[in-house]
Amino acid sequence: MNAKNWIMIVLAAVAMTCGIARAADKEGVSCTIYNGGYGVVREMRNLDIDKSGKVKFTDVASRIDATTVHFKSLTDPKAKLLEQNYQYDLVSADKLLKKYIDRKIEVVCDGKTYAGSLLSFDTRQIVLREAKGGIVMVQRPDNVRDIRFSALPGGLLTRPTLVWLVGTDKPGKHLAEVTYQTTGVSWHAEYVAVLNGDDTALGLTGWVSFQNSSGKTYTNAKLKFIAGDVRRIQPPRVPRSRGSWSGLKTDGGSAPMAEKAFFEYHMYTLPRRSTVANNEVKQLEMFTPAKDVKVVKRYLYNPLGNFRWSHGGRYTDRSYGTTNVSKKVNVFIEFKNAKDNNLGIPLPAGKVRVYKQDPDDKALEFIGEEKIDHTPKNEELSLRIGNAFDIVGERKQTNFRVESGRHWIQETVEIKVRNHKKQAVVVRCKEPVYRWANWTVTAKTHKFTKLDSRNIAFDVKVEPDKEAVVTYTVDYTW
């Protein structure tokens, strides 16, 4: 191969590479949204930089954090951002009136129009000097239909704007990449679980709910969602007005999101572009629906609730823990997020709504919901979805002794569980041994499980239309 042909091949390769780069570098917007109520916006936009280096970047999110802006010119990589001003004094009726003090306006009311120089205004009235010198006071509430101005005064904007001074040797058209953070965008996961007829398996679908109140519409945007606890130093909170919601849109596509590990978090990327309007909530399919996920239904009687321990003291009062005792038995649906259980995918934090089909008319009926935290694969999930109607618990103290000289407390507790269902059930009765750290179960009617240093549980089988009774005695020493 001669030198001329070699040069031609090299030039063709360079031209092809440049062509690919130009094809990739085009206008567009992408958003990465985080659980913490903020997001990163990236825009590729053509800008016209004048000879002085000034340029306006309009239509940014009104809740932008202007300190996070990063500017890069792809046309001139040596270009530098020398100065930035964030202008957000958006036009409003009162701002226009303020700019028109001593200038002519027209005020249209029912059946009459007033014209003259604006002298003053407030929420109740507008004061005008008419051409003949007379003063007219126009009442505003339920009277003024329109206010006409000759032009938009300088210094007012219709959209939030970044005003830059760019240092470049190549004024004119630039393709720029601009990145910034904004609040007012957030996302969370929403799940729908459908139990089968005998409560042994469920189907699970997942959605991303994207809420946008950032003050900007993201048109045909590439969307990414980061799940995880990303540390962020919170800036001082500035009160901002929120617009009314335009509603919720469901944007189910032909393909679910692509999921991957990203640093110590997980990233979900929508495989197509989507438009998210300001003041809109959009739902996007997160993963291919999982089918036949094996579950176990469990019952828990926890009469004292999640007991909160007091530091530095003993509970020697006889009545402590004997009042406000619940009779409710909680219902849980539990399953493992594992591949061999037809799941095994990272599940972002969100709400799980559980449904079951009515066999008579095949309608799905809502039976409860629970919130889950970020859950990696191969972890267990336990969904508390309600209380059992036909299972009732009862707890009472049957004996109590305290001997301070011997540093000793003894307490006996009786638990009753009544089952009014047509089939036998197993109910876990959870009991806190709460009076002191050193304790020993000295008598019991049923075998117990030590859950941790201060909680035990009895798994009790209750036959249909029967009652089971558990008693146990605990000695505390110090």
Between CA 294 and CA 343 the distance in angstroms is 10
Query: Could you read off the pLDDT of 335-387 as tens digits, one per residue?
Result: 999 999 999 999 999 999 999 999 999 999 999 999 999 999 999 999 999 99
Q: What's residue 61's pLDDT?
A: 95
- Residue 168 has a CB neighbour count (10 Å cut-off) of 19
* Cβ-contact 228, 312 below 8 angstroms: no
Give which of 112, 94, 110 is closest to 149, Cα–Cα: 94
Nearest to 430, CA basis, from 409, 460, 410: 460
Kindly give the pairing relationship between strand 425-432 and strand 296-301: parallel
| Tokens found for residue 299 | 């019952």
What does the pLDDT look like over 117-144, one tens digit per residue? 999 999 899 999 998 889 999 999 878 9
Assign 3-state DSSP to the chain and report helix, strand, coil percentages, each to 5: 5, 55, 40
Q: Do domains 93-148 and 295-328+388-477 have the same CATH topology?
A: no
Number of other CB atoms surrounding residue 112 within 10 Å: 8
The per-residue pLDDT of the chain, averaged, comes to 89
Q: What distance in Å separates the CA atoms of residue 304 and residue 316, rounded to the nearest whole number?
A: 17
Which residue's structure tokens are 């009544």? 418
Report the C-alpha gap between 219 and 372 in whole angstroms: 32
| pLDDT surpassing 60 at residue 19 | no
CA geometry: angle at 398 spanning 406 and 470, to 5°?
110
pLDDT of residue 320: 83
* CATH code at 93-148: 2.30.30.100
Q: Which residues pair with 467 in a beta bridge?
A: 418
What is the rounded CA–CA span in Å between residue 164 and residue 161? 10
CA angle centred on 52, ends 46 and 57, rounded to 5°: 35
Tell me if 454 sits within 8 A of 401, measured CB to CB: no
| Per-residue pLDDT band at 390 (split at 50, 70, 90) | very high
| Domain spans, the chain | 40-82+161-182, 93-148, 185-292+350-379, 295-328+388-477
Interval 28-35 mean pLDDT: 96
Q: What is the pLDDT of residue 127?
A: 95
pLDDT of residue 238 exceeding 50, the answer is no
- Residue 39 corresponds to which amino acid? G
Mean pLDDT of 11-31: 58
- Residues, the chain: 478
Q: Are strands 28-34 and 218-227 parallel, antiparallel or unpaired?
A: parallel
Percent above pLDDT 90 for the chain: 75
CA separation for the pair 397, 318 (Å, rounded)? 9
Question: Closest Cα partner for 398 from 469, 476, 302, 307?
Answer: 469
Second-level CATH architecture of 295-328+388-477: Sandwich (2.60)
Kindly report, residue by residue over 159-208, the tens digit of the pLDDT: 789 999 999 999 999 999 999 999 999 999 999 999 999 999 999 999 99
State which amino acid sits at residue 289: P
Of the pLDDT bands very low, low, confident and very high (cuts 50, 70, 90), residue 90 is low
